[in-house]
Amino acid sequence: MSTTIPLCLHCQSVYVYEMDALLICPECGHEWNADEIPADSSELTVKDSNGNVLQNGDNVVVIKNLPVKGAPKGIKAGTKVKNIRLVDGDHNIDCKVEGFGAMALKSEFVKKA
């Protein structure tokens, strides 16, 4: 029986194993049914701090004061960012912040406006 076990849907771990009808990730503890794997799992999915799915062109609000290297002051909580672009990587939002210019943000520090 040569079935390939998919990566964890939450943390992308390769150490997923099967137990009865469930797939289990030992790194993050996520359990799911093998039949519930989304068909478009290869598509980039980015969620904000509240778990809402973000899309290209959305407007977001920064929820935490963020320091900016090389700038005398950081981005304040409550700053609105318009027309975001989602990218693959550690900082998964590319945007332009008024007063700072082009910037990459982590989705965990924003919420959908």
> Do 74 and 107 fall into the same domain?
yes
What percentage of the chain has pLDDT greater than the value 70?
90
Q: Which helix (DSSP H) or strand (DSSP E) does residue 89 occupy?
A: none
Q: Which amino acid is at 41?
A: S
Asked whether 9 and 30 are in contact (CB, 8 A), the reply is yes
> Do 108 and 62 fall into the same domain?
yes
Q: Which residue has the higher pLDDT, 107 or 10?
A: 107
Residues 6+ apart with CB under 8 A from 3: none
The answer as to whether 45 is a domain residue is no
The answer as to whether 48 is a domain residue is no
With H, G, I as helix, E, B as strand and everything else as coil, classify residue 42.
Answer: coil
Q: Give the CATH number for residue 89.
A: 2.30.30.40
pLDDT in tens, 33-56: 877 665 555 577 899 999 999 999
Model pLDDT, residue 48: 93
Note down the domain range covering 99. Answer: 58-112
Q: How many domains does the chain have?
A: 2
Q: State the virtual CA torsion across 1, 17, 108, 113 in degrees, nearest 10.
A: 60
